[in-house]
Amino acid sequence: MSALQWKRWWEPPTMQQYLFSSLWSRPGDRFADMLTRTVIKSPPMARFAAASGLLFELAAPLALLDARAARLFGCVAFAFHVGVFQMQGISFLSYWSPALLMFLVDPAPLEWSTLLPPQDAGAAALWCWRIAAGHCACQLFVAFSFLEAYTSGMLPFTCMPVFAVSTNLFDPTIPHSFVMTGGEVRCAGHMGDVEWKGPQFQDPWFQLTHREVEALPFPAMWLVVGKAVSSKTLIRRTHSGQVKLVAEHLPTRGLKRKLRNTMENTLNNLALPKYAESGFALFANFEVPEELLDRVRLVTRILLCGCASDAYDRCKLEELVEAQRTCRELFDRVVQTKQLPASPVLFERGISLLR
């Protein structure tokens, strides 16, 4: 819904950003990572993935009107979630597979009478129906009012705008956070919440203190790239390659203004001001090898020195993806050798590391 409102649902940059982030925090096997990198490097493929995914979700109500459409939807939905797991490492199959079987086992069209309580329903049944109907109505209101896109969430209908913000890897005004942790992050039992926590966050719900970072029993590294800039300014690159800020007209009222303000607040509050305003921050609970630091510098320079149109530059995308692949391989060497120090260490570097 947010993608429709921003009118960017058919463009590849947002899809590229979310896939690129998954390569850091949720890497898969060789085939899965190769597939993800291929989509990132190909703007047409990223555009197809973004547009087809949204169109598939919007077409879901058609499965309630026809048996053939229901069977088709069940098969496509299963393939959709397999693709999400392969490219992003997020598994909804265990949650959605039982529900998707319903479209194959009982694909009969939905009848209006089935949505209403039985005529001979007792008081308890009527109250249960009212609660369910009220919950469904609230869920629809939250979805079509775009509340998730310009608030921090409304439990139990939504919790946070995880994929509700349109973004671009090469936009230096948008801070991005990447994390690498040891262990098999696609299997049950891993500490996946470390991906959403870190020493760079200022929100106490997401922040890990330095002491907590040092206490982690596995290697972990956080990278913050991008400088938080007010949405009232716009970065433009001059012919000489310098970056300057120019004024940008903002909507004065309405939903678009709320969405823009929320994007600004969400992204600019991603990191503590001392990190977000510097444009770069690196944290780790181990001494980072110099070879890995060199690759991190390369990734950071590509992103900070880029412009939004680089999301369509295959050569720039190839360079970025290759640099990230090397970063992950070098980090995995640290994991394999288990080079965690005997005494706690917090490795923290700022913008000076890039010079």
pLDDT-derived band at 195 (thresholds 50, 70, 90) equals confident
pLDDT above 90 covers what percent of the chain? Answer: 25
- Does residue 231 register a pLDDT over 60? no
Residues 140-155 pLDDT 10s: 888 777 776 666 567 7
Band (pLDDT 50/70/90 cuts) for residue 134 is very high
Kindly write down the DSSP assignment for every residue of 148-177, as one continuous string.
HHHSS-BTTTB---TT-S---TT-TTS-EE
* pLDDT, position 108: 86
In 3D space, the residue among 339, 73, 331 whose CA is nearest the CA of residue 179 turns out to be: 331
| Mean pLDDT, range 108-123, rounded to an integer | 85
- Does pLDDT of 102 surpass 90? no
Average pLDDT of the residues of the chain: 78
Question: Do 173 and 245 touch, CB atoms closer than 8 A?
Answer: no
- Quick one: pLDDT band at residue 229, thresholds 50, 70, 90? very low
**Residue 283 bridge partners (DSSP):** 222, 348
More confident call, 126 vs 184? 126
pLDDT of residue 91: 80
Higher pLDDT, 190 or 199: 199
Domains in the chain: boundaries: 2-109, 112-167, 176-228+270-354, 229-269
Q: Among 76-80, 214-218, 315-319, which is the least confidently predicted range?
A: 214-218
User: Which DSSP string do the residues of 77-94 spell out, in sequence order?
Assistant: HHHHHHHHHHHH----HH
pLDDT at 247: 32
Q: Give the model's pLDDT for residue 343.
A: 65
So what's the pLDDT on residue 338?
61
Bridge-based pairing state of the strands 220-225 and 347-349: unpaired
Instruction: Dump pLDDT digits (tens) for 285-311.
Output: 888 889 999 999 999 999 988 888 899
Give me the pLDDT at residue 339, please.
Answer: 58
Reported confidence tier of residue 238, pLDDT bands at 50, 70, 90: very low
CA dihedral 67, 69, 74, 79 (to 10 degrees): 160
pLDDT tens, residue by residue, 5-23: 445 667 888 899 999 999 9
Least confident span in 2-6, 149-153, 219-223: 2-6
Structure confidence at residue 127 (pLDDT): 93
For residue 303 the two structure tokens come to: 């992103």
Whether residue 240 has pLDDT greater than 90? no
pLDDT of residue 227: 64
212: pLDDT strictly greater than 50: yes
Report percent pLDDT > 70 for the chain.
Answer: 75
> Residue 186 carries which DSSP code?
T
- Identify the weakest region by mean pLDDT among 15-19, 197-201, 240-244, 334-338: 240-244
Nearest to 206 by CA among 167, 162, 169, 249: 162
Is the overall model pTM greater than 0.85, yes or no?
Answer: no
Q: What is the pLDDT of residues 255-281, one digit of tens each?
A: 444 444 444 555 455 567 776 666 788
